[in-house]
Chain A
């Protein structure tokens, strides 16, 4: 692409440099067709919907938009979403780091099983993930009566939403760290131990700094999913306004009630979150690549 944009130095068309360039490039016709298809696809399926969200949200003016966003039920949904993410992300951060450390740096029986289990939430439909919790903690479920006797509510309450979110976002951090840690090997850790470092010192001073960008990347993706999860949360939430509605659920309710502007207003917040996530992700990826290139 950039090669085509740079004006060629004045040289005969049949110079050797020209023929080498041609040998490794497709004809302009092929290039522009491929780029055109990709752009058309992106426009149709990504840019137009994104623009539509903001357009619909702001169609009746900023006042209506703001009113929809600071309305009581919307604020409750935002609070619940933030709370869920604030619990699920740190939990999965700790779990992901621990699992990746164990898998990448140690040999133990059942390691392959653990790797497969970590991937389970990726391969199971989110609705099924939600149903599992209903089966286990619901009133007709295994622990339903015990929980009711102790006056504990899991399903159709905040704990259920957090549980379902933790389950769905389970693999993000671990999946990001395992290949990275495996590629880095054990040499540096061994060197640290020989130099007298304790296990804790090895982790904080050697292992963690070496994976910090990968870790941040995993956390960003985990957070985006935790805030945006619909399927699993929808099953366990019970859709109680102002109490068990997360932002994605709130959008659905508003939409079903033909409150399109309000629905799109809340949806625009989620879309903004996506854009911020993308920007962060790009920045982290760049730092990550720089670190890798440095090795």
Chain B
């Protein structure tokens, strides 16, 4: 089922949680809402679920206006950040809850409920925990049970609020791959909220980047990463280096470095910021015919497959560069050395 969010606004007192938010979720898609805390992503998810009322705007499910439809009738599955399992019920009863609370005429028989719950528990590979209580489970197990419980009511949409936020790094990585595989099997329209750009880029079909209550960019992980719509998106998706300079008539100057920026062709000179990812920067030894920003190597650190180099320019701007092991071996840099910094791939945003 598709979801259509149209021009939604929501305030909490003086705080603008959602500011003219519009987006479409296509049927069967896995969409990530990505943003820092306070960006409105969870509020948007709760608005879609119906747990939050909106001040203005519309939410459409499959083309039908669902704005005033009660949470109960929206047929959504919601997975909470802290699982929200019913603490006094066994795992079996937790998953069965959605079926047991149905009106008598729609309620499946006990044997039907048992079959369905056990099927879901095997789907999340935890059928051996049916008689336990939530507090006896690990965080990762609880989250999978929360997912099974949400799926029990056969929701038309699955909404997940920071589903892996409370888990440790290793479990988080395993679970998000598992979620992707599960989605590929079930093809249920899914929206999940995260503040972790790796998670969003790795798991989702499309990413919605949010900040301060509004949508910054919508696109595939590749599009968003390679072509950030603005300075915020660039900075939020991974580490960046900033170079302050000026643009005019399609040329940008950052110290001794000059770049062609045809997108900034206005005749007036204006301040600009250039962004470069740490792995998109080249370091060379100073030579007469090479242009680059002079900087001093401060610190070298080998981490896994890369070598991190911290540099300081003449005007004390820190620069972080990631070199491959090979590149580092060829250069053989030492701390204290003077080098030239040459960004290979730069995005310039004028103020």
Query: Quick check: A188 and B86 within 8 Å, CB to CB?
Result: yes
Query: Quick check: B72 and A196 within 8 Å, CB to CB?
Result: yes
A191 to B88, CA, bound (A): 14
Q: Which chain B residue shows the least CB distance to A189?
A: B84
A196 to B108, CA, bound (A): 14
- Kindly state whether residue B6 has any CB partner on chain A within 8 Å: no
Q: Which of B72, B78, B102, B135 contacts A191 (CB 8 A)?
A: B78
Given contacts A196-B102, A197-B72, A294 and B97 within 8 Å (CB-CB): no
Q: Which of A187, A188, A197, A291 contacts B101 (CB 8 A)?
A: A197
Which residues in B have their C-beta under 8 angstroms from that of A295? 87, 135
Query: Quick check: A206 and B86 within 8 Å, CB to CB?
Result: yes
Q: Return B308 CB to nearest CB of chain A, in Å.
A: 40
Query: Quick check: B97 and A195 within 8 Å, CB to CB?
Result: yes
Residue among B77, B80, B85, B153 with the highest chain A CB neighbour number at 10 A: B80
Restricting to B75-108, which residues have a CB under 8 Å from any CB of A? 76-78, 80, 82, 84-88, 97-98, 101-102
Q: Which of B82, B87, B98 contacts A196 (CB 8 A)?
A: B98
Given contacts A187-B82, A209-B88, A194 and B49 within 8 Å (CB-CB): yes
- Kindly state whether residue A145 has any CB partner on chain B within 8 Å: no
Which residues in A have their C-beta under 8 angstroms from that of B72? 193-194, 196-198
- Kindly state whether residue B144 has any CB partner on chain A within 8 Å: no
Which residues in A have their C-beta under 8 angstroms from that of B49? 194
Given contacts A193-B71, A196-B98, A294 and B133 within 8 Å (CB-CB): yes
Contact residues of A: prevailing secondary structure: helix
Q: Return B92 CB to nearest CB of chain A, in Å.
A: 15
Q: Which chain B residue shows the least CB distance to A193?
A: B71
- Kindly state whether residue B334 has any CB partner on chain A within 8 Å: no
A291 to B87, CA, bound (A): 9
Q: Which chain A residue shows the least CB distance to B133?
A: A294
Q: B35-68 toward A: CB 8 Å interface, digit per residue (1/0)?
A: 0000000000000010100000000000000000
A205 to B88, CA, bound (A): 10
A190 to B49, CA, bound (A): 10
Query: Quick check: A191 and B71 within 8 Å, CB to CB?
Result: no
- Kindly state whether residue B246 has any CB partner on chain A within 8 Å: no
Query: Quick check: B87 and A195 within 8 Å, CB to CB?
Result: no
Q: A118-154 toward B: CB 8 Å interface, digit per residue (1/0)?
A: 0000000000000000000000000000000000000
List the 7 shortest-distance A-B pairs measured between CB atoms, nearest first: A187-B84, A195-B98, A197-B101, A191-B84, A194-B78, A294-B135, A209-B88
Beyond the given pairs A194-B150, A195-B152, A196-B101, 5 more chain A to chain B contacts, judged by CB atoms under 8 angstroms and listed by A's residue number, are A190-B51, A194-B51, A194-B71, A196-B102, A205-B101
Binding site for B on A (CB under 8 A): 187-188, 190-198, 201, 205-206, 209-210, 291, 294-295
21 contacts between A and B (CB under 8 A): A187-B84, A188-B85, A188-B86, A191-B85, A191-B146, A192-B86, A192-B101, A193-B51, A194-B51, A194-B78, A194-B150, A195-B101, A195-B150, A196-B98, A196-B153, A205-B86, A209-B88, A291-B88, A294-B87, A294-B135, A295-B135
